[in-house]
Amino acid sequence: MQYIEFGTPAYRRIFLSMLLGSTVTFAILYSPQPLIHTFSKQFNISPSTSSLTISFATVALAVSMLFITVFSNAWGRKKIMGISLLLTSLVGILASFSPNFETLIFLRIVQGIAMGGFPAIAMTYLSEEVSPKHIGRIMGIYIGGSAFGGFLGRVIVSTLTDFFSWHIALLVLGVFSLIGSLLFWMYLPESQNFKKANLSFGNWTTGISSGLKNKSLFCIYGIGFLLMGVYVSLFNYIGFPLSKSPYHLSQTAIGFLFIFQLTGSWSSYLFGNLTERYSRSRLVSVAIVMTLIGSLMTLSSNIFLLIIGLVLFASGFFAAHSIASGWIGIISPPRSKAYASSLYLLFYYIGSSLIGWFGGVFLSHFGWGGVIFMICGLLIFTSLLVIVISQSLRLSRMEAVQTS
């Protein structure tokens, strides 16, 4: 099997394409996040109901990925990813014309289904085509693109909403995403190590079953579920305290605070490189501590301390997610990689939806302090899962040595 090595022209094309693809996907997926406060006021709905623009899209994305995987095994990785990005962008343009909240929610669900073809297949494509010794590095680029995309989508939408309307904001984002999708299709190299499989429900159930029976993989799914849940909870509702005393920030100012999520691009790349020198369990533990400290700092009434907290929180989250997602390709058997990646992202996005929605309940009943209390509790539980997976992998290695 011939892998693509770091520094080659093909590697640089993958680098650019994955940056484009993840930027498009996550710019559109999280673009309504800074508008949750706006939707709550305009449509006279609660914060948790307004956050369904994120939650419903992520649930649809998570569920669709499970079924799209079987088609990618039969039709090819690049084709599925390219079609997914184009459809996502086109539906994004349609969503900008939504006359009411119900229509917007419906189109966000459709958009979530369309998005499903990129994230899980991208992870599988990378694990198949890129040399295993560089997978941490390139996965860091992919995750870094998601950080950049999330920032870009939020800033475009926040700024244009302040100057024009959220309709115009979503339209401009949709057009930019369509251009990025076309460039992705042009630059991404065709799969070289992809092995076509027939469309088979039996293959699908076997792959899903295999991914669910592996204890180590299941722990990683749990880590993704909890990490994404706390990340979305914080950024879904941070606009509420920031728009009030003592901050009184405008929609544009709140949107530009998301620029600090770009530190996630740096941390995911850095921690991805560090996997070549240190254990993944140790690196994930460090990242979780960073996330925990960062969340606590957002309780400060000092805007500068709060900003430092956002930087630490985003850096820790993206570092942990980068390591966990790369772990999937290493632990899962070759025939189960696509299914394991899909299951990881299923749990990941369900965590985004459920915990993200539940954060709104905590906000309504206990204020911002209640949201942070929930986040800290879930991060402590995440660290326990890291301990479990470390022990499980250690036992597996010992058994392998004994049997050999």
Mean pLDDT, residues 184-202:
73
The number of residues making up the chain comes to 404
Residue 67: which of 103, 16, 117 has the closest Cα?
117
Is residue 400 pLDDT above 60, yes or no?
Answer: no
**Taking all residues of the chain, what is their mean pLDDT, rounded to a whole number?**
83
* CATH code (residue 141): 1.20.1250.20
Q: Which of 126-130, 136-140, 169-173, 343-347 has the highest mean pLDDT?
A: 169-173
Share of the chain above pLDDT 70, in %: 86
- Quick check: 147 and 261 in contact, CB under 8 A? yes
Task: Give domain status of residue 186, yes or no.
Answer: yes
Rg of the chain on CA atoms, in Å: 20
Domain count, the chain: 1
389: left (phi over 0), alpha (psi -120 to 50) or beta: alpha
- Quick check: 181 and 88 in contact, CB under 8 A? yes
Task: Give domain status of residue 1, yes or no.
Answer: no
Tens of pLDDT, residue by residue over 26-38, are 899 888 888 887 8
Mean pLDDT, residues 162-184:
91
Dist CA 357 CA 168 (whole Å): 26
Query: 3-state class of 130 per DSSP?
Result: strand
Domain that residue 215 falls in: 9-192+208-403
The confidence score (pLDDT) of residue 22 equals 86
Query: 3-state class of 301 per DSSP?
Result: coil
Task: Give domain status of residue 185, yes or no.
Answer: yes
Is residue 297 pLDDT above 80, yes or no?
Answer: yes
Q: What tokens were used for 181? A: 């999708």
Task: Give domain status of residue 22, yes or no.
Answer: yes
Banded model confidence at residue 286, pLDDT cuts 50, 70, 90: very high
Tens of pLDDT, residue by residue over 46-55, are 877 888 898 8
The confidence score (pLDDT) of residue 74 equals 62
Is residue 99 pLDDT above 50, yes or no?
Answer: yes
Tens of pLDDT, residue by residue over 60-97, are 988 888 777 777 666 677 888 899 999 999 999 999 99
Task: Give domain status of residue 197, yes or no.
Answer: no
Dist CA 244 CA 374 (whole Å): 21
Q: What are phi and psi of 96, to 5 degrees?
A: -65, -20
Task: Give domain status of residue 3, yes or no.
Answer: no
The confidence score (pLDDT) of residue 149 equals 82
Dist CA 378 CA 239 (whole Å): 21
Residue with the two structure tokens 């990683």 = 220
Task: Give domain status of residue 105, yes or no.
Answer: yes
The confidence score (pLDDT) of residue 87 equals 95
CA distances from 311 to 88, 262, 291 (A): 29, 8, 9
Task: Indicate the range of 182-186, 349-353, 373-377 predicted with least confidence.
Answer: 349-353
- Quick check: 39 and 101 in contact, CB under 8 A? yes
Dist CA 179 CA 274 (whole Å): 34
Dist CA 280 CA 52 (whole Å): 34
Banded model confidence at residue 241, pLDDT cuts 50, 70, 90: confident
Task: Give domain status of residue 199, yes or no.
Answer: no
Dist CA 215 CA 222 (whole Å): 11
Is residue 120 pLDDT above 90, yes or no?
Answer: no
Banded model confidence at residue 187, pLDDT cuts 50, 70, 90: confident
